[in-house]
């Protein structure tokens, strides 16, 4: 063996040690500047609410700044595209929700690939949806509303957080399961759709439970059913039946909300973020804030969230094809 080869071989352990030290140093230092969490919908909806809660939790816990940046429009795809094309260094993160898994099946041409261009970090919360109607309809149960809507085909409107959003697809699933003809009215976000329901501009909205809670669940809107499985009623609405109890057992929707990073973000960064998220979700303040809004804290690992995300992309893609939903 030549002298130069001996030198190179001897240097290998030092090189590996240096890499390990550099990685550990980077992990200890991260983040060295503010981290942006990109949200594809305006304030007032569950996606924005979740982002702001976890941003505050991470800021308090790590002593570093996490900021929310709303880049709204096009059913969240403007924000998703921004995240996908960002530098994968851990300083630009994105809020993922059920809509993120829906858009690939609904829009055939997107400037990004949700399975290729994102690295899921951790699911933050899970929440059912709630079917809301304006009280002027004088319908007190889901069966009464279905009968009322069937007697007026094409006369009622429902609001959503935008074409391709989870609120849009959940309402379309409800329409399909109940055999209804109700007109879709898209808004820029779920919060705006709740405001439209409160104002009587639309007669129905299917909202994630925290979005409905943010609207006050006031006398200006009535909750008819939650989309939890079986007879698992929402602790926030113990008197509201599940869709199975209300007569639509096939209508089950559990929304996910979590953090993702651009593909290629170092695992040491995404791993640290997962650990910090899981830790933050155990703190009484953050945990109780989520529970008080009808959301269940999760804190899954990157691997668990990746598996869920891929399953949701397939599930919603199949449902879009089955029901035949088209972009509007």
Least confident of 20-24, 55-59, 95-99, 276-280: 20-24
Q: What is the C-alpha separation between 197 and 167, in angstroms, rounded?
A: 13
Q: Quick one: pLDDT at residue 163?
A: 87
Q: Quick one: pLDDT at residue 211?
A: 86
pLDDT in tens, 49-59: 999 999 999 99
Average pLDDT over residues 208-215: 84
97 bridge partner residues: 257
Q: What is the C-alpha separation between 165 and 106, in angstroms, rounded?
A: 10
Burial class, 327, CB count within 10 angstroms (exposed 0-12 / middle 13-18 / buried 19+): exposed
Element of type H or E holding 158: strand 157-160
CATH topology of domain 33-126+255-323: D-Maltodextrin-Binding Protein; domain 2 (3.40.190)
Q: Is residue 10 scored above 80 in pLDDT?
A: no
What does residue 327 show for φ and ψ, rounded to 5 degrees?
Answer: -60, 145
pLDDT in tens, 121-176: 999 999 999 999 999 998 999 999 999 999 999 999 999 998 888 999 999 999 99
Q: Quick one: pLDDT at residue 218?
A: 66
| SS3 state at 66 | strand
- Has domain 128-226 been given CATH number 3.40.190.10? yes
Average pLDDT over residues 82-101: 97
Token pair of 283 as six digits: 């703190």
Domains 33-126+255-323 and 128-226 share a fold: yes
Domain regions of the chain by residue span: 33-126+255-323, 128-226
Average pLDDT over residues 226-233: 94
Q: Quick one: pLDDT at residue 324?
A: 82
């Amino acid at each position: 063996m030549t002298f130069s080869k001996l030198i190179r071989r001897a240097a290998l352990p030092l090189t590996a040690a240096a890499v390990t030290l550099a990685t550990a140093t980077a992990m200890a230092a991260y983040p060295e500047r503010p981290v942006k969490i990109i949200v594809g919908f305006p304030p007032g909806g569950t996606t924005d609410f979740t982002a702001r809660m976890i941003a505050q939790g991470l800021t308090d816990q790590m002593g570093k700044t996490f900021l929310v940046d709303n880049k709204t429009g096009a059913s969240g795809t403007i924000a998703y595209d921004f995240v996908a094309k960002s530098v994968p260094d851990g300083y630009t993160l994105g809020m993922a929700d059920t809509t993120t898994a829906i858009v690939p099946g609904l829009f055939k041409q997107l400037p990004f690939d949700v399975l290729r261009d994102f690295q899921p970090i951790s699911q933050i919360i899970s929440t059912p949806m709630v079917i809301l109607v304006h009280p002027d309809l004088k319908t007190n149960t889901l069966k009464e509303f279905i009968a009322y809507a069937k007697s007026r085909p094409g006369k009622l409107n429902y609001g959503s957080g935008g074409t391709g959003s989870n609120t849009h697809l959940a309402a379309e699933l409800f329409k399909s399961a109940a055999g209804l003809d109700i007109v879709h009215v898209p808004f820029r976000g779920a919060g705006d759709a709740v405001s439209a329901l409160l104002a009587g501009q639309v007669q129905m909205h299917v909202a994630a439970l925290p979005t409905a809670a943010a609207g006050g669940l006031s006398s200006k809107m009535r909750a008819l059913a939650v989309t939890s499985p079986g007879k698992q009623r929402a602790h926030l609405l113990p008197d509201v039946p599940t869709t199975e109890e209300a007569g639509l057992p096939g209508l089950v929707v559990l929304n996910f909300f979590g953090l993702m990073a651009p593909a290629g973000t170092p695992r040491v960064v995404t791993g640290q973020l997962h650990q910090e998220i899981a830790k933050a979700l155990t703190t009484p303040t953050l945990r109780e804030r989520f529970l008080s809004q009808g959301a269940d804290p999760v804190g899954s690992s990157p691997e668990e969230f990746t598996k869920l995300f891929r399953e949701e992309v397939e599930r919603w893609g199949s449902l879009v094809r089955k029901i035949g939903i088209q972009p509007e």
